[in-house]
Copies of this chain bind each other. A is one copy, B any other.
C-alpha cells in the first residue's frame, strides 16, 4: 500500500563527463570557508584533487582539509572532523570520494553546531538534528551507496563494534549538489567496481523484498534491477565501457534516494548482517552484503514466496510453466547466484576473514529490524551467518 508519505529530494545532480565544471556554478552560493573531505589519497594520484583544488582557488575559497576518511568511517574520525569544521567555521563541506566520504561529510554537517554527543543523539537515539546544518556538496569517485542523493550516514563505533546507519528525515541533510562523472570511476579496481554494483542491487532488494502488494515502487525496482544486471555484465567484461558505467552510476543514485521505498515497509536485514561483518572484519561494504545475501534470502523465501516468484519472473525472466511457486522462486535466486558468481563477488564471509568462532560476536553486533517477511530471532541470525561461512 502506498499510504501516506512525503517525498522531497532537492539535491541538484550534475551528471556526465563534463560535470565538474558546474562546481563553479555551485560554489558562489556558499560562504568562503570550505572544508574539503576525502579518503586515502587516490584522488591525488588520479588528478581529481588538483582539479577540485583549482576550482576552489578560482572561486576564492578559504579551504581546510579532512583527509584520510576510511571506508567504514569511525566515530573517532567523526569527532576529529567536527573539531576541524568548527575551528574553520565551515560554510560548506565538500566531499570528494565515495559513499563513505559522503556519509562522513553528512555526519559532520549535522554535528558541527550540535551541543550533544552525535553518537548518542543520532546513532543510538536516532534523533533528528535541532541545530543548524552545514551544507554538503559531493564529487563522487566511487559508485554504490547512493549517499550522493540521500540523507543517510553510516558511522562505525570501533569500541562497541557497532556500525550504524541513520537515514535522517530532513531533506536539508541531503547534499545540496552532487557531481557524478562516470569517468572518475573507470580506474577503480575490479573488486571495488563489483562490490559497488552489488551494493546497488542489494539496496533495491532491501526495499523490494517487503510488503505484500504490487505497488509502483516494485515496478520501478524491477526496472532498476534489470538495468543493473544489464550494465553490470557489460562493465564486468569491459570496465572501460563508459556507457555501462554511466548507467550503473545513475542506478546507484536511484536505488537509494527514498523513491523505491515509497509504500514499502523495507527490510534492511542484509545490511544489518553485512554491517556486523564490516564492523568485525573491516571488509568492503558491498562484499559483506554479497556474502550474506543468499543465506538470508533463502531463509525468508518461504515467508515471502509470492514476491520471490514475482522476482524470478520479472527480473530474471524465469519461465514458470509447469513449476511450483517454490521451484520458480528458487530458480530466481539461482539465477541471481549465477549472476553474482559471474561478476566475481565474494560469496561467503570466510573469505572476508570471519570464522566459526566469530558467529556469536557477529550475531551480537547485528541489529534486528522488522519490515521483512520474517523477523529473525537471535538463533536464526547465527544460522544465517553459519550458512554464510
Contact = CB atoms under 8 A, between A and B. Distances in A.
Interface of A: 1-19, 22, 171, 182, 213-216, 218-224, 226-227, 230-231, 243, 246-247, 250-251, 254, 259, 262-263
Nearest to A313: B317
A21 to B, nearest CB: 10
B213 A243 contact: yes
A58 to B, nearest CB: 20
Given A221-B223, A222-B223, A223-B224, A216 B250 contact: yes
A26 B14 CA distance: 28
Contact of A226 (B219, B224, B262, B263): B219
Contacts of A247: 2, 215-216
28 contacts: A2-B15, A2-B16, A2-B182, A2-B250, A4-B15, A4-B17, A4-B19, A6-B12, A6-B14, A6-B15, A7-B13, A8-B11, A8-B12, A8-B13, A9-B10, A12-B171, A213-B243, A215-B227, A215-B246, A216-B250, A216-B251, A218-B227, A219-B224, A220-B224, A220-B254, A221-B223, A223-B224, A254-B259
Given A219-B223, A219-B227, A5 B15 contact: yes
Copies of this chain, tallied across the complex: 2
A246 B2 contact: yes
A260 to B, nearest CB: 10
Given A9-B9, A216-B251, A2 B223 contact: no
Contacts of A224: 216, 219-220, 223
Contact of A2 (B4, B14, B243): B243
A215 B226 CA distance: 10
Contacts of A171: 12
Given A4-B15, A4-B17, A220-B223, 11 more contacts: A1-B246, A2-B246, A6-B12, A6-B15, A8-B12, A10-B10, A215-B227, A216-B250, A218-B227, A219-B223, A220-B220
A286 to B, nearest CB: 19
Nearest to A25: B6
Contacts of A9: 9-10
A10 B13 CA distance: 11
Interface-centre pick from A6, A17, A231 (highest chain B CB count, 10 A): A6
A376 to B, nearest CB: 29
A223 B220 CA distance: 5
Nearest to A11: B8
A251 B218 CA distance: 12
A18 B17 CA distance: 43
Contact of A230 (B16, B219, B221, B231): B219
A116 B228 CA distance: 47
Contact of A1 (B10, B222, B243, B251): B243
A172 to B, nearest CB: 11
A4 B9 CA distance: 20
Most chain B CB atoms below 10 A, which of A2, A22, A216, A262: A216
Nearest to A18: B4
A296 to B, nearest CB: 24
